[in-house]
Amino acid sequence: MSVDLAPPAAEVAAPALRAPKQRQYDLWITPIVLGMLATLVVVVWIYSEFDNTTADILERSKLLRQTRQHIGMTLWSTVAVVLIAVPAGILITRPRFKRLATPILTVANSGQALPAYGLIVIFFAWLGQGTGLLVGGTSTMVAALTLYGLLPVLRNTMVGLEQVDQAVIEAGRGMGMSRRQALLKIELPLAVSVILAGVRTALVINVGTGALGFLVGAGGLGVTINSGLKLQRNTAIFIGASLVAILALLIDWIAALAERYLRPKGI
C-alpha cells in the first residue's frame, strides 16, 4: 500500500498566489497611507497659527530647496550603491572569487554596524565639506550613505543569484552559452526581483538617514527638523518629519512599481 506524501495542488499553488497578491496590496496601501499623511500635513499647515520664527523655518522656498537636496542625496547615493554592490555581489558568487566574500561583506557590514551619526562624522572628518561634482557637504553625505546602504543590495544580489537553479544554468551552458551569457540571460533575469527588493530597501534607508545631512552642511529636510528642535517649534518639527516620511513612502512606492514592472514575465 503506497502513501501519497505530496501535498494537494491547491496547497502547493497557495504560496505562489499569495506573493503577487501581497505585492498588489503594497501598491495600493502605500498611496492610501501617503495620501492620509499628506492631508494631515496640509490641515496642520492651513489651520496652525505660525509665529514669525515658525514661518521663517517653514518658508516654502526653503522647504523646496531642502527637498531637492534630500532627493539628490538619496538618488546619488543609491546609484553609487547599485554600481558598487551589484557587481560585487556578482563577483563573490563566482566560484573563483568566493574567497573575497568575507572581506567584501565585512566592509558592507561595517556601514550597518556603525550608528548613522557616527558614520557621517567619520566621513566628515575624512572628507570635510567635499569638493568636485557634489558641492558643499553633499559629497561627504553621499559617501556615508553609500556605505550605509551597501549591505541590503549586496546581500540581495548574492541571495538572488545563489537561489537560481543550477540545473537551469547547466541547461543554458549545454545549449552553448558562455558563462557570461548564462549570467546575463539566465541568472540576472531570474534574480532581478530579489535585487530590486534590496535596492528598494537601500532607497528607504537613505531617505531616512539623509535627514542627518544638515550635520555636514548637506542640507535636506533635516534642517527644518533641527531648527524646530532648537527653537522649540513643534509645528515645524511635525511638518519637517512628516515631509521626510512622505518622501520615503513616495520613493518606496515608485520603487515598488519598478520592482513589479521590471520583473521578467512569469517570475
User: 134: domain CATH number?
Assistant: 1.10.3720.10
Q: 190 CB contacts (<8 Å, ≥6 apart)?
A: 160, 164, 168, 264, 267
Max alpha carbon distance in the chain (Å)? 86
The pTM of the full predicted model, rounded to 2 decimals, is 0.81
Does some domain include residue 73? Answer: yes
Does some domain include residue 178? Answer: yes
Does some domain include residue 75? Answer: yes
Question: 72 with 138: CB under 8 angstroms?
Answer: yes
Please give the chain's pLDDT, 267 residues, in tens: 443 433 443 333 333 334 455 556 667 888 899 999 999 999 999 988 889 999 999 999 999 999 999 999 999 999 999 999 999 999 999 988 888 888 888 888 887 788 888 888 888 888 765 544 455 578 889 999 999 999 999 999 999 999 988 888 888 888 888 888 888 888 888 899 899 999 999 999 999 999 999 888 888 999 999 999 999 999 999 999 999 999 999 998 988 888 777 776 655
Q: Which whole-number Å values give the CA distances from 224 to 28, 47, 71, 240, in the listed order?
A: 30, 19, 15, 5
CA atoms within 13 A on the CB side of 76: 19
Per the structure, the complete domain to which residue 125 belongs is given by: 20-261
Does some domain include residue 172? Answer: yes
Does some domain include residue 54? Answer: yes
Does some domain include residue 139? Answer: yes
Does some domain include residue 130? Answer: yes
Domains contained in the chain, number = 1
Does some domain include residue 159? Answer: yes
Could you count the other beta carbons within 10 Å of the beta carbon of residue 239?
Answer: 24
